[in-house]
């Protein structure tokens, strides 16, 4: 039989093209004059000289690669220092650094779950937590977004002795917050463990960016585990689990994405240490991100955000894509989220605020975003073509 076994890829690509769902890589070029409202560089530290110097110094000291898995040659004194400082920052007893936030989520969930556990996860949890559920071999219950009663019921009705509850602290697509206090109450009442992904919380929420867990007074609780990424406010790459010493020790023995993965590169460790120290020295940065997010939301005509993420729902994928392109043509780089990243019919611009946005950049944002959204909303108003346009 002489058939092309990958012909279905062309059919799939054609379907995606028809639905406005093709994705393209766009390489950044040096000196590109675009205002960045698309990245997760919330504190604007990815080009900070002290962060770059931290990376360079670590390369000089340790080399370009970590040279092995953490358990063999991939742990340096700087990895351990970063673990100590990250844990102290969020108020946890201990920390363990992974090669990404994705790996941290997979590692902690799979190591704490297993066939004999129940995992309850919010419907809005990040893809890495979703994949962690799939790999965990546990029975998984997905509860409606931010529905604490549903979590309580799932935990109370379980037959499994062990249970984990998973949630983002700040949800990545909408930028809304998890009801952490209530979630922790039902988690504890049902003898379960709460795992909170602070990827979008650290650097933005809490005192001086210590995260939402700290903000609601849950730092250091023994039945709560924080996961974090170093790739957003901390301006580099990598991830971490911040929890009790007991959990850390277990992960070193049992987390497969820790054991069978090369340790985080020294440059990323050095950069994260420098970024964290800058944030500690200048805690006002966190408040500045939220203030700028509020200004951007006002321009976009959407509700005041609770995080750096300003989500402007426009409906159909092509409408969101065209609006993003129009922004780009006038010097604004914005995120465009379409299914499967968000539910059908809720394609959107996802704008992220940065602490270092200048007043003149804000003026340009106001002019461009105002124009593009006004034109988009007029062109795609429900009465003009029957498609819903939500702001
Ligand atoms: C909520 C959330 N968790 C985890 C991750 C994964 O982190 P990393 O990029 O470090 O793998 C991301 C995004 O990248 C995220 O938005």
pLDDT-derived band at 196, boundaries 50, 70, 90: very high
Dist. CA 101 → ligand 1 center (Å)? 5
Q: What is the mean pLDDT of residues 7-11?
A: 96
Provide the pLDDT confidence category of residue 173 given band limits of 50, 70 and 90: confident
Q: Are strands 224-229 and 239-243 parallel, antiparallel or unpaired?
A: antiparallel
| Tens of pLDDT, residues 260-302 | 999 999 999 999 999 999 999 999 999 999 999 999 999 999 9
Q: Which atom of ligand 1 is nearest to the CA of 105?
A: 4
Give the mean pLDDT of the chain: 95
Residue 382 pLDDT = 57
How much distance in Å is there from the Cα of 172 to the middle of ligand 1?
9
Choose which residue among 107, 166, 172 to substitute to test ligand 1 binding: the one with the highest number of ligand atoms within 8 A of its C-beta: 172
The pLDDT of residue 389: 35
Beta-bridge partners for 347? 315
Architecture of the 24-40+308-384 domain:
Alpha-Beta Complex (3.90)
The encoded tokens of residue 212 equal: 């939402």
What is the assigned CATH class of domain 49-281?
A: alpha beta
Which whole-number Å values give the CA distances from 307 to 178, 202, 204, in the listed order?
12, 10, 7
CA of 132 relative to ligand 1 center, distance in Å: 12
**Interval 30-59: pLDDT, tens:** 888 899 999 999 999 999 999 999 999 999
Substitution site in 126, 173, 177, 272 for ligand 1 pocket (most atoms within 8 Å of beta carbon): 126
- Residue 226's Cβ-count burial label (10 Å; 0-12, 13-18, 19+) is buried
Which residues sit opposite 313 in a β-bridge?
348
Q: List pLDDT tens digits, range 309-346.
A: 999 999 999 999 999 999 999 999 999 999 888 889 99
pLDDT at 386: 37
Taking the centre of ligand 1 as the mean of its atom positions, its distance from the CA of residue 348, in whole angstroms, is 19
Dump pLDDT digits (tens) for 67-79.
999 999 999 999 9
The DSSP result for 180-227, as a single string, is HHHHHHHHHHTT-EEEEE-TTTTTTSSGGG--HHHHTT-TT-TTEEEE
Domain ranges of the chain: 24-40+308-384, 49-281
79-129 pLDDT tens trace: 999 999 999 999 999 999 999 999 999 999 999 999 999 999 999 999 999
Q: Which atom of ligand 1 is nearest to the CA of 239?
A: 10
DSSP state of 69: B
Per-residue pLDDT for 385 more than 60?
Answer: no
pLDDT beyond 60 at 388 = no
- What is the residue with the minimal CA distance to atom 15 of ligand 1? 199
Q: What is the mean pLDDT of residues 192-199?
A: 98
What SS3 class is residue 15?
A: helix
Question: How confident is the model over 216-245, as a mean pLDDT?
Answer: 98
Nearest-CA residue for ligand 1 atom 8 is 101
Question: Can you tell me the mean pLDDT for 3-26?
Answer: 91
Give 248's pLDDT tier (boundaries 50, 70, 90). very high
Query: Rounded mean pLDDT of 171-178?
Result: 94
For residue 122, list its beta bridge partners: 143
* DSSP bridge partners of 35: 332
Alpha carbon distance 180, 168 (integer Å): 9
Ligand 1 pocket, Cβ-based, cut-off 6 angstroms: 100-102, 105, 126, 128, 168, 172, 197, 199-200, 229, 231, 239
Cα–ligand 1 centroid distance for 103 (angstroms): 9
Q: What is the pLDDT of residue 378?
A: 83
pLDDT (0 to 100) of residue 261:
98
Does 133 have pLDDT greater than 60? yes
């Amino acid at each position: 039989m002489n058939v092309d076994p990958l012909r279905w890829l062309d059919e799939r690509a054609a379907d995606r093209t028809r639905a406005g769902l093709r994705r393209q890589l766009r390489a950044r070029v040096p000196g590109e004059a675009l205002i960045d409202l698309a990245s997760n560089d919330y504190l604007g530290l990815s080009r900070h000289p002290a962060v770059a110097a931290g990376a360079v110094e670590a390369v000089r000291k340790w080399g370009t690669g970590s040279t092995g898995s953490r358990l063999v040659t991939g742990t340096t004194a700087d990895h351990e220092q970063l673990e100590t400082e990250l844990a102290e920052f969020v108020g946890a007893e201990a920390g363990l650094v992974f090669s990404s936030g994705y790996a941290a989520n997979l590692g902690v969930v799979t190591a704490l779950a297993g066939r004999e556990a129940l995992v309850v996860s919010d419907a809005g949890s990040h893809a890495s937590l979703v994949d962690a559920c799939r790999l965990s071999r546990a029975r998984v219950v997905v509860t409606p977004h931010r529905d604490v009663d549903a979590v309580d019921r799932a935990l109370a009705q379980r037959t499994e002795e062990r249970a984990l509850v998973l949630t983002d602290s700040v949800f990545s697509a909408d930028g809304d917050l998890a009801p952490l206090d209530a979630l922790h109450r039902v988690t504890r009442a049902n003898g379960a463990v709460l795992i909170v992904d602070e990827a979008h919380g650290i650097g933005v929420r809490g005192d001086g960016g210590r995260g939402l867990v700290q903000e609601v007074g849950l730092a250091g609780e023994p039945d709560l585990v924080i996961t974090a990424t170093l790739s957003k406010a901390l301006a580099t790459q990598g991830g971490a689990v911040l929890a009790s010493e007991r959990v850390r020790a277990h992960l070193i023995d049992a987390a497969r994405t820790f054991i069978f993965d090369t340790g985080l590169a020294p440059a990323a460790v050095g950069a994260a240490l420098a970024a964290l120290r800058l944030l500690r020295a200048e805690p006002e940065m966190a408040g500045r991100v939220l203030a700028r997010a509020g200004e951007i939301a006002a321009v976009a005509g959407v509700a005041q955000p609770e995080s750096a993420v300003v989500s402007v729902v426009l409906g159909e994928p092509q409408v969101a894509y065209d609006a993003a392109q129009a922004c780009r043509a006038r010097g604004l780089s914005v995120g465009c989220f379409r299914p499967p990243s968000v539910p059908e019919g809720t394609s959107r611009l996802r704008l992220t605020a940065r602490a270092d946005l200048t007043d003149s950049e804000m003026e340009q944002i106001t002019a461009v975003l105002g124009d593009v959204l006004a034109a988009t909303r007029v062109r795609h108003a429900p009465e003009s073509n029957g498609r819903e346009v939500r702001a």
